[in-house]
Amino acid sequence: MAGNSFGTLFRFTTWGESHGPAIGVVVDGCPSLIDLVAETDIQPWMDKRRPGQSRYTTQRQEPDQVKILSGVFEDKTTGTPISLLIENTDQRSKDYSDIAGKFRPGHADYTYWQKYGIRDYRGGGRSSARETACRVAAGAVARKVLGSAIQVRGALVQIGPHKIDRSRWDWAEIDNNPFFCPDPVAATQWADYLDGIRKSGSSVGAVVELVASGVPVGLGDPLYDKLDSDLACAMMTINAVKGVEIGNGFAAAELTGEDNADEMRMGPDGQPQFLTNHAGGILGGISTGQDIVVRFAVKPTSSILTPRQTVDTAGNDTDILTKGRHDPCVGIRAVPVGEAMMACVLADHLLRRRAERRE
């Protein structure tokens, strides 16, 4: 029943509903003596996920300003739990009054109702994507634990049926378009495509790719706390995610052992190096020292303007269309959320790895 925490040594717990007074996260297990200032270390990541920044994301206006309530003394972490609070300011709860008793298809309305016998129907309550702001805040702390040598970056690589051209991949393009798209040509095409989706009140799915570089070899624990199983779990906890893959992923099913092998040679630095990275940087659940590559699929936003058939809590057939402010492609804002979750998984395993050091 408890189930709002994530991680083992670097562990966070989130709380809050979409239309309550605030949401927040408690980050426990962050080492001491790390510089941590809300404005410069956390807020920039919040701003990246923040709604209302382009016409392709929900028009809800939330400053998402993070307050540090504990765990930091004179701008340094003290080793005690870091409580981060984000106030909700732009709730429009009345938008939801006419759907209070209806189960929105694709949403958690029906299952929460069945499980708990009660739900805060305003804006999805606890199951709202608003909760992901807390993940981004925790991820910002995780990045400080990882330090500057480990970099976690994400990109949108597919929107609806439209994929990027990987030969044009340029990380520098990520911030030049509202999609976190690394392919500038695709980004232009997507803008037109998504405008159409948005104007018709429809929605569309997407695929996000995350890359962590600078990860040392040896992160990840044996069989049931593998680095890849923890990453898969992490991504699948994000709202609307329906698939996760590492390295070659599902494509590996089509390959032969010869084609999928990552051969090795001694490098010029006298260290072993891999000649390819089909494995996505993880072998046997443990990081290889190469880039860690994760992709996840986000389903289309369930809130659409076209009426759908449903039932209500009284047991009547009815129709529903969702008028609230929503993302035509929730996959866009999933990029910083995925990055944050990846950073948290890596921070956790980095601390676990330290515990293994021999004297």
Distance of CA 301 to the CA centre of its chain: 15
Identity of the residue, 167 or 271, whose beta carbon is nearer to a second copy in the bound complex: 271
Per CB under 8 A, the list member of 233, 277, 291, 325 interacting with a second copy is: 233
Identity of the residue, 191 or 311, whose beta carbon is nearer to a second copy in the bound complex: 311
Identity of the residue, 82 or 172, whose beta carbon is nearer to a second copy in the bound complex: 82
Q: Cα separation of 215 and 10, whole Å?
A: 17
Angle CA(121)–CA(66)–CA(46) in degrees, nearest 5? 80
Backbone angles phi, psi at 45, to 5 degrees: -75, -35
Q: Are 57 and 332 in contact (CB under 8 A)?
A: yes
Cβ of residue 73: shortest distance to a second copy, in angstroms? Answer: 4
Query: 309 is written with which tokens?
Result: 């058939």
Identity of the residue, 213 or 229, whose beta carbon is nearer to a second copy in the bound complex: 229
Identity of the residue, 161 or 172, whose beta carbon is nearer to a second copy in the bound complex: 161
* Residue in the block written with tokens 């299952």: 111
Quote the crossing angle between the two packed helices 330-355 and 227-236, to the nearest 10°: 150
Identity of the residue, 152 or 234, whose beta carbon is nearer to a second copy in the bound complex: 234
Identity of the residue, 47 or 312, whose beta carbon is nearer to a second copy in the bound complex: 312
> Residues 247 to 306: which contact a second copy by CB under 8 A?
247-266, 270, 272, 275, 279-280, 282-289, 297-304, 306
Residue 128 annotated as part of some ligand binding site: yes
- Total interface residues for a second copy by CB under 8 A: 152
Helix (H/G/I), strand (E/B), else coil: 157 = strand
Q: Cα separation of 223 and 97, whole Å?
A: 47
> Of 43, 228, 203, 225, which is closest to residue 133 (Cα–Cα)?
43
> Residues 302 to 341: which contact a second copy by CB under 8 A?
302-304, 306, 308-311, 315-317, 331
Residues contacting residue 258 through CB under 8 Å, at least 6 positions apart? none
Identity of the residue, 44 or 272, whose beta carbon is nearer to a second copy in the bound complex: 272
Per CB under 8 A, the list member of 155, 197, 332, 343 interacting with a second copy is: 197
Scanning 35-43, 168-176, 183-191, 349-357 for contacts with a second copy by CB under 8 A, the matching segment is 349-357
Helix (H) or strand (E) holding 330: helix 330-355
Backbone conformation region of residue 266, classed left if phi is above 0, alpha if psi is from -120 to 50, else beta: beta
* Residue in the block written with tokens 């970056």: 153
> Residues 24 to 43: which contact a second copy by CB under 8 A?
24, 26, 28-33
Per CB under 8 A, the list member of 17, 62, 64, 173 interacting with a second copy is: 17
Residue 240 annotated as part of some ligand binding site: yes
> Residues 198 to 217: which contact a second copy by CB under 8 A?
202-207, 217
List the x/- string, 119-138, binding to a second copy by CB under 8 A. Answer: xx----xxx---x-------
Distance of CA 294 to the CA centre of its chain: 11
> Of 264, 274, 230, 286, which is closest to residue 8 (Cα–Cα)?
230
Residue 260 annotated as part of some ligand binding site: no
Cβ of residue 139: shortest distance to a second copy, in angstroms? Answer: 14
Cβ of residue 27: shortest distance to a second copy, in angstroms? Answer: 9
Per CB under 8 A, the list member of 94, 161, 175, 192 interacting with a second copy is: 161
Quote the crossing angle between the two packed helices 132-146 and 330-355, to the nearest 10°: 40
Residue 161 annotated as part of some ligand binding site: no
Q: Cα separation of 76 and 297, whole Å?
A: 37
> Of 62, 41, 260, which is closest to residue 142 (Cα–Cα)?
41
> Residues 54 to 113: which contact a second copy by CB under 8 A?
69-71, 73, 76, 78-83, 103, 105-108, 110-112
Annotated binding-site ranges: 49, 55, 126-128, 239-240, 284, 299-303, 325
Annotated binding-site ranges for FMN: 126-128, 239-240, 284, 299-303, 325
Annotated binding-site ranges for NADP(+): 49, 55
